[in-house]
Amino acid sequence: MKKLFLGVLTALALAAGGTFAGTLDDVKARGNLLCGVSTGAPGFATIDDSGKDVGFDVDYCRALAAAIFGDPMAVKFVGLTSAVRFTALAAGEVDILARNTTWTYSRDTDLKQTFLGVNYYDGQGFMVKKELGVKSTTELDGATVCIQVGTTTELNLADYFKENGMSYEPVPTADNAESQQQYLAGACDTYTTDASALHGTRVNLEKPDDHLVLPEIISKEPLGPLVRHGDDNWADIGRWVLNALVIAEEKGITKGNIDSWKDTKDAEIHRLLGTGDGDILAMVGLPKNAMYNAIKAGGNYGEIFENNLGATSGINIERGVNASWTKGGILYSPPFR
C-alpha cells in the first residue's frame, strides 16, 4: 500500500515536472504572463488607489509581458507573501517570481531556482534621529537597536557589531511596522532593516528632516527575479529582458525617444530594438521587436527606478550602487550580441 502511494506521488511529481518544460509556450497558449509579486513592498509592488498594480517589480513583469506579447498589460499579478513565494513558483502557480527576493546560494541551489540577475542592490541600513549626532554606523557603539527577530537582518547586525568590536542592546520587534513605532517612541536609538524600506519609511515620518538614514550598508541583499530550474530558455528570456532595460539606460534609449534611433550607427542598438537586418531574438522564440516593446512599456531601467523608487515616486532613493557602471554604479549588462 505504502509503495503504491509513493508510486503515485512519484508519477504525479514526474507529470508535474513534465509541464515545466516550455514555459514560453505555456505562457503564449494562456495568453498572459503569471507574475508573482509581493503583496505589499513599498516601491516594489503594491496596488494604487484605483486598484492598479504598480511598483518596480511590477514594471519589470510588464516589460517581460510586452516582450512576449507586445502588450504590457498581458500579465496577471499574483500577490505572494514571503511564506508562500517559493512554493508558488515551484508548483507552477506563477511563471516568474519578481518579489524583491534576495539572491543567495541556497535559494539558487537547494530550492532549485534560477536567479535571472539583480534588478536592485539592496542592503541593510540604519536610521537614527539627527539629534543623536551620529553620522556613521561606526559611532553606534552601545546603542539600543530595534531589530526584527528571526530575519537575516538580525544575524547581519550581530555579525557587523562583532566584527567592529562594538556592543549593542537589541530591542526585538515583530515587523517593520513595530520597529518604526518603537523607534519613534524612543525605545531604541536606531532601527535597522533594508535601506530601501528605511528611505520609504523616513519620507512619511512626521518630520522627515529630523531623521537620517546612515550612509553605510552592512549587508548584501541583491534582489532579483527568478524562475524554476529546468527551463533555460525561459530563464534566458527573463534575464535578457532585464539586461535590455539596463542596456537601454546605458545607451540613453528612453520610452520617449525610442523611435528616434533608426539612423544610429550603433549596431548594438539596432540589434536590441530589432531595427537591424539580423533577428537574434528568434533564438529564444521572441519576436524581432520584443526588446523594443519591453523598453517602450515602462521605459529603461533608470526610468523604472525613478518612477517607483526615485524622486518621482516620493520615496527618494538615490541611485547609489544601482546606477549604471558608466555612472559609478555596478549595474553592468553583458553585451547584446
Partner 1 sequence: MTNIAFVRKKEIPPSAPPITEVGLIGWLRQNLFSSWLNAILTVLSVYFIVIMLWDFIPWAYGGHWNTKSLRECLDLDPDVACFSVLAARWKQLLFGLYPAEEYWRPTLTFIFLLLAIVPILFPKFFRFFWFSIIYPGLAVWLLWGGSFWSISIVYIGLTFGTLLFLSLIRRYLKNYMIAAILAFLFTAVFFLFISNPLVALLNVILPISLPFVESLKMGGFTLSLIVGVTGIVASFPIGILLALGRQSNLPVIKMICVGFIEFIRGVPLITLLFVASVLLNYFLPPGTNFDIVLRVVIMVTLFSAAYMAEVIRGGLAGLPLGQHEASASLGLTYWQSQRLIIMPQALKISIPGIVNTFIGLFKDTTLVSIISLRDPVGLASTIRADQKWNGIYWELYVAIGLMFFIFCWGMSQYSQYLERKLKTDK
Residue ranges that bind partner 1, judged by CB under 8 A: 9, 12-13, 15-16, 18-19, 38-49, 51, 54-55, 76, 78-81, 83-84, 87-88, 90-93, 177, 180-181, 200-201, 203-206, 313-315
Q: 203 vs 213, which CB is nearer to partner 1?
A: 203
User: What residue type is assigned to position 76 of the chain?
Assistant: K
Nearer to partner 1, 9 or 155 (CB): 9
Q: How far is the CB of 187 from partner 1 (least distance, A)?
A: 16
The four Cα atoms 256, 262, 267, 270 give a dihedral, to 10 degrees, of 70
Measure the CA–CA gap between 45 and 61, rounded to whole angstroms: 11
Q: Taking the complex as a whole, how short is the minimal distance between the CB of residue 242 and partner 1, in angstroms?
A: 22
d(CA 151, CA 159): 13
Tell me the closest approach of the beta carbon of residue 1 to partner 1, in angstroms: 17
- Taking the C-alpha atoms of residue 264 and residue 52, their distance in angstroms, rounded to an integer, is 37
Rounded to a whole number of angstroms, the minimum distance from the CB of residue 231 to partner 1 is: 14
Q: What are the φ and ψ backbone dihedral angles of 52, each rounded to 5 degrees?
A: -90, 145
- Shortest approach of partner 1 to residue 20 CB, angstroms? 9
CB of 128 to partner 1, least distance (A): 17
Min CB(35)–partner 1 separation in Å: 12
Record the cell numbers describing residue 227, joined without a space.
524562475
Closer to partner 1 at the Cβ: 76 or 229? 76
Cell, residue 191: 532601527
Q: Which is nearer to partner 1, 15 or 335 (CB)?
A: 15
φ, ψ for residue 151 (rounded to 5)? -115, 170
Query: Cα angle vertex 113, ends 109, 118, to 5°?
Result: 100
| Cell 537601454, located at residue | 248
Q: Which of 60, 101, 66, 61 is nearest to 80 (CA)?
A: 101
- Cβ nearer to partner 1, comparing 92 with 170: 92
Q: Between 1 and 335, whose beta carbon lies closer to partner 1?
A: 1
If the CB atoms of residues 78 and 166 are measured against partner 1, the closer one turns out to be 78
Identify whether the C-beta of residue 251 lies closer than 8 Å to the C-beta of residue 269.
Answer: yes
Find the shortest distance in angstroms from Cβ 47 to partner 1.
6
Element (H, E) at 6: helix 2-18
**Which residue, among 58, 121, 65, 114, has the nearest Cα to 86 in the 3D structure?**
114
Q: Which is nearer to partner 1, 55 or 302 (CB)?
A: 55
The sheet that has 211-213: what strands, in order across it? 168-173, 143-148, 190-194, 124-129, 211-213
CB of 85 to partner 1, least distance (A): 8
| Mode of pairing for the β-strands spanning 143-148 and 190-194 | parallel
Which cell numbers hold the place of 99? 518579489
Q: CA 213 → CA 147, 165, 207, distances in Å?
A: 15, 22, 14
Q: Which is nearer to partner 1, 93 or 139 (CB)?
A: 93
